[in-house]
């Protein structure tokens, strides 16, 4: 029984060290000197970076939307003014 527990613990540690190595090579975009030694803190930093990138992309999309909406409003206003002028 003790032998089985030791094998399980060794296998778990081996898999855990492989998983950590795969995470370190993920290319998160932070420099090696700026990485925090705590895995949980690094995870939160990566999540925060992903959220910032998402927010940046959404802001850019909103700018495009607002621009297109303004163009459409100008076209509509022009068509409405033509329609009002044709009715008189």
The answer to whether position 22 is within a domain reads no
Rg (CA), the chain: 28
| 41: containing domain | 37-87
Instruction: Assess contact for 28 and 46: CB atoms under 8 A.
Output: yes
Instruction: Assess contact for 30 and 52: CB atoms under 8 A.
Output: no
- Evaluate if pTM is beyond 0.75: no
The answer to whether position 3 is within a domain reads no
In the structure, what pLDDT confidence band is assigned to residue 67 with cuts at 50, 70 and 90? very high
The answer to whether position 24 is within a domain reads no
The answer to whether position 59 is within a domain reads yes
- Segment 3-50, tens digit of pLDDT: 555 555 555 555 555 554 445 555 555 555 578 899 999 999 999 999
| Tokens read off for 5 | 């527990």
């Amino acid at each position: 029984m003790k032998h089985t527990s030791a094998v399980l613990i060794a296998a778990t540690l081996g898999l855990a060290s492989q998983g950590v190595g795969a995470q370190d090579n993920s290319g998160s975009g932070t420099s090696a000197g700026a990485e925090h030694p705590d895995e949980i803190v690094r995870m939160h930093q990566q999540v925060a970076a992903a959220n910032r990138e998402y927010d940046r992309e959404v802001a850019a999309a909103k700018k495009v939307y607002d621009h297109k909406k303004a163009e459409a409003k100008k076209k509509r206003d022009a068509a409405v003014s033509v329609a009002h002028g044709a009715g008189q």
